[in-house]
């Protein structure tokens, strides 16, 4: 199994998993603090910086921070109030090339 395929499985289910995790109960169990404090601590301790951001259909922001070499990564859920909650942490972060769908009618 290649490194890319190892990352593709978890990455493919990331959005679904994050949506399921981001409930009031999950936030209560996650370490939360103002975004500026969380981001500064992750940068200072792990040299992580934002690499991806999206707006969830539930109205909060999902942000992925990673170190330059990908050795560490953190997923935050950021509420409209500015409170950031750690949803997941991990290692071996890497970006994957999006799959290209065949053009309609090409039969490919």
| Residue 55: strand pairing partners | 61
| Residue 53: strand pairing partners | 63
CA angle 94, 84, 26 (to 5 degrees): 90
pLDDT tens per residue across span 8-23: 444 444 443 444 444 4
pLDDT tens per residue across span 32-64: 999 999 999 999 999 999 999 999 999 999 999
Work out the mean pLDDT of the chain and round it to a whole number. 80
Report DSSP letters for 18-60, one per residue.
HHHH-SHHHHHHS-EEEHHHHHHHHHHHH-EEEEEEEE-TTS-
Quote the tokens at residue 38: 């969380």
């Amino acid at each position: 199994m290649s490194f890319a395929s190892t990352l593709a499985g978890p990455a493919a289910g990331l959005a679904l998993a994050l949506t399921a995790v981001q409930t009031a109960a999950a936030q209560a169990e996650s370490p939360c603090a103002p975004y500026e404090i969380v981001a500064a601590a992750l940068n200072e301790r792990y040299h992580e910086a934002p690499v991806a951001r999206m707006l969830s259909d539930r109205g909060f922001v999902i942000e992925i921070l990673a170190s330059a070499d990908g050795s560490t990564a953190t997923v935050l859920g950021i509420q409209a109030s500015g409170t950031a909650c750690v949803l997941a942490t991990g290692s071996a972060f890497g970006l994957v090339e999006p799959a290209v769908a065949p053009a309609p009618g090409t039969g490919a």
